[in-house]
Chains A and B, each alone.
Chain A
Amino acid sequence: MIPLFLALAVLAPAIPATEGVRAAEPAKPQADMPQEAGAKLSGEAARVADWIAASRDNGALPYIIVDKKAAVLSLYDASGKSLGHAPVLIGVAVGDEASPGIGSKNLAEIGPAEKTTPAGRFLAKFGLAAGRQKVLWVDYATSVALHPIPKGAPKRERRRERMLSPTGDDNRITFGCINLPVAFYGKNVSPLFRKKGGYVYVLPDTKPLEAVFPRLRVQAAMNGGGG
């Protein structure tokens, strides 16, 4: 009996405690310039990134993960290699849906509550827009595109200052489009997406992650997480 207790007492410290949990707090880059690959992702962004890489959901195309809560964009090549992070500006309204018919409205007709950046998985491609300009459409049906801060944006919106600020709280200013630093767009995103486009995964504001990306559930079960 006593030797048994002694053995248990000796072995007790060797039994592992509960596993450490990956940090879930959002991480926003501090400057306008693209951040190094491998910078810290939020828990949700890391989960989506792991799922895409494991399931090859992107096929043979590059992809972007937009973390709306952290106001950060992460770019990956077709093989899943991280190519960097950049701050983004998103729709001024909190929400994950696009209101019906918003794609055919003029900017002036869009109400404050309609200015959301819809969450989901989108096949983004370069295409024509009004004025014969070429833009990277994220969701053509709802007129959401990914582009640098437009030159005609009113100065009172202070978009550049918002992008440069260390907090993500002031990065909600657009009508729904995703604005990113011009250097990051020109050097990284545009060349990568020019030929065949790529996928853009926009993380939700309020919806559960699994409601927006249902295949995460299967991935969790396959990894033995059970849910």
Chain B
Amino acid sequence: MSRSFTKFAPLAVILVGSLALGGCATKGFVREQVAAVNQRVDALDSRLQATDATAKSALAEAQAASGQAQNNGQRLDQINARVDGIEQRMQENQRKRPRN
């Protein structure tokens, strides 16, 4: 044992002790914060699930409506084409001129 060891040993003990105690306090604080945040996350998660279900249902309805609109659009296209064809076959003096 050297003289310097006996001189600095108490200082080292105090330093290590204070660091350890400080560490414990920090962990406790973090646990409290995390618990609070976890509660909020859980609440948000349940709300998100409800919103997600609503959104999925709305999207399914929109897709169905879109598909129906697409079918209707195609039927209208066919009807329009037939009407246009009939109109074009009418008398020459009734035929249209393009808007150049």
Contact = CB atoms under 8 A, between A and B. Distances in A.
Partners in one complex: yes
Interface of A: 1, 55, 57, 59, 91, 102-104, 106-107, 110, 115, 121, 123, 125, 127-132, 135, 137, 140-145, 147, 150, 153, 174-177, 179, 197, 214-215, 217-218, 221-222
Contacts of B40: none
Interface string B57-100: 00100110110011001100100110011011100100111111
A137 B66 contact: no
The B contact surface, by secondary structure, is helix
B88 A177 contact: no
17 contacts: A57-B70, A115-B99, A129-B97, A129-B98, A130-B92, A137-B98, A140-B80, A140-B88, A142-B99, A144-B98, A144-B99, A150-B100, A175-B99, A175-B100, A215-B66, A215-B70, A218-B65
A107 to B, nearest CB: 7
B97 A147 contact: no
A163 B98 CA distance: 19
Contacts of A121: 73
A140 B99 contact: no
Contacts, number: 83
Interface of B: 26, 59, 62-63, 65-66, 69-70, 73-74, 77, 80-81, 84-85, 87-89, 92, 95-100
Nearest to A134: B88
B98 A127 contact: no
Contact of B59 (A102, A129, A144, A221): A221
